[in-house]
Amino acid sequence: MLRLGITGAEGLTGYGSFGKSGGMLDEDATRRKFIDWLRSPAFDGQFNAINPRSNWPFWVGGILVVTMIGVLPGIGFLIYGWRRESARKAARKDVHLAFSHQQPLLCCLIIGNRNLFRTKGAMAPALLIGTFENLDMAGIEEMETAAQLIASLYGEDPASVPAELREVCTMVNDDAYKPDRRRPVPAHLFPNRKFLLFDAVLLGDHFESGSIDNPYIPCIAQPGAKGSIAQLPPTVVVLRELPKPVYEPNIIEHKTPETPPPLVAPISENLDEIEKHITKHLGVPERVFHELISTTVHIDVHIVPATAERPWVSLVTSGMSDIPMTTPEEVEVWRFAELMIRLPADWKLGEEAFKQEENYWPIRWLKILARLPHEYESWLSYGHSIPNGDPPEPFAPGMPFAGMILTWPSIGGEELATLYLADGTPVHFWSLIPLHPSEISFKLKHGSDPLLEKLAAAGYSDLYDPRRPAVV
């Protein structure tokens, strides 16, 4: 089975395709549609796939009777086949009774073979995480975080992971499918939720085209410590309409404070883990641009030079995640972050080069944005944009770019995008894309996803191109 990688813009702001479809699972309406579906001819195809008809007793019995090889054994086979088929039809007739008391719930995929799930008629085992508790937006986000954490432990030796993760590491690596098995996620990892790991069989017919890349799987399950779980077809899933999330990315106006805040920067406890994360996914930093005097948080910028395998310069912060940002309560899983920007391979580096603003502005803006949420009791995350003043002015003389937008890194997948600290806390790495003034205005009016889609359609990523024209 393959680990699920959750990447892309919808991972945060849209809950995969569910966000675009309307919101959280409506349990009562889904249950009603599910029961109606069980009673309809539309269910026959799935029932026959899971409980196929056994034709061999009829063939064997018929051959024995017709050829007179053994009439009595042949009749016995025919009776045996008829009784098996009668029992199967009885099970089909009454199957809705077995599900009428079960609870619809939204789960997250942890491990499974996504290629099989894309194949119509295919069935494959999978490991899901879910809960019988009512989930609000914060709960859904926390479930996704739990899925990502547990998926990252798949294939790891339990002895090699921190002590607090060993139990769940052992659980996820016990991946032999066992029907009706469900196991509680250790309570110390997510004390506010009662998450369960479900062994399930997923059907390719129950995924709309391409939707397996959405990590959310609607299911129906028997409440309790054990019992069956079944994937719901998309035709019976009902989603509640949600108000616009409070964290819908807004433009954040930056104003330099008149006096620096008095808070002394704490000593970083995450520096070693962040440095290892940068080295693993982006390369060995050539130097670290240290702050001599820090307030609120101590921000360093790690400079990773270009190589043949990675023909760009990476600048990455450390220190922003030393203290949590002030997030809305329902999105607390996004409290810790670091920032990065990718520059052309020939970017001028070094003390002399940094005396020129046209070379230094990326470092300046990484430090400004890394400190901004802590100084203003705010937060930064996917889709947030920040102009350079009001009205926006160029970062340096002669530049067309006058603002930034945060997005997922275009490289490295989920492994780069999220670092899980030793205690399981996720630190999200956001990549900066410089924007033209017209793009800032477009984003403010239409939102971040339409702007990022236009950038992608034009062939641009988070690799800074100083000659990039405006896409709006």
Q: Residue 78: is it exposed, middle or buried by C-beta count within 10 angstroms (0-12/13-18/19+)?
A: middle
Dihedral angle sign, alpha carbons of residues 147, 153, 159, 162: negative
pLDDT at 61: 67
- What pTM was estimated for this model as a whole? 0.53
147 CB-near residues (< 8 Å, 6+ apart) = 4, 6, 108, 109, 110, 129, 215
pLDDT at 28: 78
pLDDT at 246: 43
The tokens for 417 are: 């995008």
Residue corresponding to tokens 């590491």: 169
pLDDT at 409: 93
Per-residue pLDDT of the chain (472 residues; tens, 9 = 90+): 222 322 222 222 222 333 333 357 777 788 777 777 776 666 665 556 556 666 666 666 666 666 767 777 767 767 776 776 676 666 655 555 556 667 888 898 888 877 777 777 788 899 999 998 877 766 787 888 888 889 889 989 999 988 889 999 999 999 899 988 999 999 988 888 899 999 998 888 777 644 555 678 888 888 888 888 888 888 888 876 544 444 445 555 555 555 555 455 555 678 889 999 999 999 999 988 876 555 667 889 999 999 999 999 999 999 999 889 988 877 788 899 999 999 999 999 888 888 899 999 999 999 999 988 888 888 999 999 999 988 899 999 889 999 999 999 999 888 899 998 888 889 999 999 999 999 999 998 888 888 998 999 999 999 999 999 999 9
pLDDT at 159: 92
pLDDT at 64: 65
pLDDT at 93: 56
The tokens for 54 are: 């056994």
